A and B are shown apart, each in its own frame.
Chain A
């Protein structure tokens, strides 16, 4: 039995996950908690947010995020990819910044208009 805090929403339910019984979850106030509990112990993922350089805009950084959660083990490799990016304004929210993060097929996208 493993105890976790669900991070899917700010409520932060205290979960109990039974690894021996198909990762069944208790303590979750909604189904997303059950899904998280299982995934966190089998293949944990996170959405990563950061910023990249941008030219010709009111600010010098543009916020970006992974379009979907990526495997936890790839976080620093993903961050590395952003170091060489330089956008040119105008940028639109949702514009693709990096097409494929480390073979996951998941892109980094811009998180605002600039």
Chain B
């Protein structure tokens, strides 16, 4: 037996929207001893710095800002029996479900859990991760870091800005910096399309006449101490085309070049990671490859909409509570297989015995598409198809498959996307 200081039925690692919803749901589903461990000084996760609106349209049926959405969930959790430990960092989870953590106030603690939900979210890719050439000047930071400086700490990172990457965080920060008096000279995107939501192109760039350079990338950053100039070039695929250089005099470069699920702790606990999502392989109830360890939110796959994080986490929290109270799920396992047009799916494995009415499958397609058909096959036979008028890698797709169809299909479920015949 390992020694430990405390025991909880369900321990949740990370108190962002995923952790809050998982805790709420674990309590609602019968768990009596639930603990959220959060390393920051308050719960809410990345939402605390997302002061723009557009959260909660699905879940609360109204448009909230990030802090409002987080605040509502924090209040819901405070109305349950769940304990919250802030300023506490989880260092390690053992396969025996001992959660080792440290805080300034209580020092080192080992907490025994019957079930665990991993909700650690994502971190941003940095300059090093994508190897931008040029000087190592100051004034180069990730868009999320800039968001924290501006919205929480009250510092402006610069006055003349070039943004690399047109994902939602980059677009939101283009508008935010403009409103605060900075001049955003360009948003530069390697792909021939933006990875952000269309609504953000309209309300963050077009509203403020900020130019978007598609199929372009930064090819040089110049500046002895502070950034002075940025050179961008058009690309052919991934290769810069000589002679297409455009120079911008600026003092700041914001990087919005993708998020990486934060899974170092998961891996050490023995959780298998899917190379496509860089998050855990999960079953229909968000259990990982380790029995009793569940995961939800951005730590599983990068979400664009917090409402989907909430939905997924409510399932994870419920399943963790049931596991802690002794329920075991078995039976046949169907593997979800990605076919052309589909980059990944969540969940990757489905146990039909554990589905009540239907299972929701989330995925992303591989390119911008017009009229399209999503086909679901099993052993080569089509069992369902769904039509879409518009699809893009930046927009997560969701399909729902009824249990009756799962009961009839074989051990694999193949999902593909193709252009519709017009």
Contact = CB atoms under 8 A, between A and B. Distances in A.
Contact of B68 (A8, A58, A111): A111
Contacts of A72: 207
Nearest to B42: A58
Interface of A: 4-10, 12, 14, 46-51, 53, 58-61, 63, 65, 72, 75-76, 79, 93, 111-113
Contacts of B42: 58
Q: Top 8 closest A-B pairs, CB basis?
A: A12-B198, A112-B67, A63-B51, A7-B199, A60-B154, A111-B65, A61-B154, A5-B198
Interface string B54-93: 1001000001011110110000000000000000000000
A6 B199 contact: yes
Given A10-B57, A112-B68, A75 B154 contact: no
Interface string B31-56: 00000000001100000100111100
Contact of B203 (A7, A58, A61, A79): A7
A16 to B, nearest CB: 13
A10 B201 CA distance: 11
A82 to B, nearest CB: 10
B241 interface: no
B273 interface: no
A47 B179 contact: no
A61 B198 CA distance: 29
A111 B67 contact: yes
B198 A51 contact: no
A76 B42 CA distance: 32
Centre residue among B67, B179, B201 by max chain A CB count within 10 A: B67
B2 to A, nearest CB: 36
A9 B180 CA distance: 25
A7 B51 contact: no
B154 A10 contact: no
B408 to A, nearest CB: 31
B305 A61 contact: no
Given A9-B57, A65-B65, A111-B68, A53 B154 contact: yes
Contacts of B151: 51, 61, 63
A91 B67 CA distance: 13
Contacts of B152: 59-61
B394 to A, nearest CB: 10
B153 A59 contact: yes
B139 to A, nearest CB: 21
A93 B304 contact: no
B203 A49 contact: no
B197 interface: yes
Contacts of A60: 152-154
A68 to B, nearest CB: 11
Contacts of B203: 7, 46
A75 B57 CA distance: 23
Contacts of B201: 5
20 contacts: A8-B199, A10-B54, A10-B304, A49-B53, A49-B65, A50-B180, A51-B151, A58-B42, A59-B153, A60-B154, A61-B151, A61-B154, A63-B65, A63-B67, A93-B71, A111-B65, A111-B68, A112-B48, A112-B67, A112-B71
Contacts of A48: 179
A76 B54 CA distance: 20
A112 B151 CA distance: 13
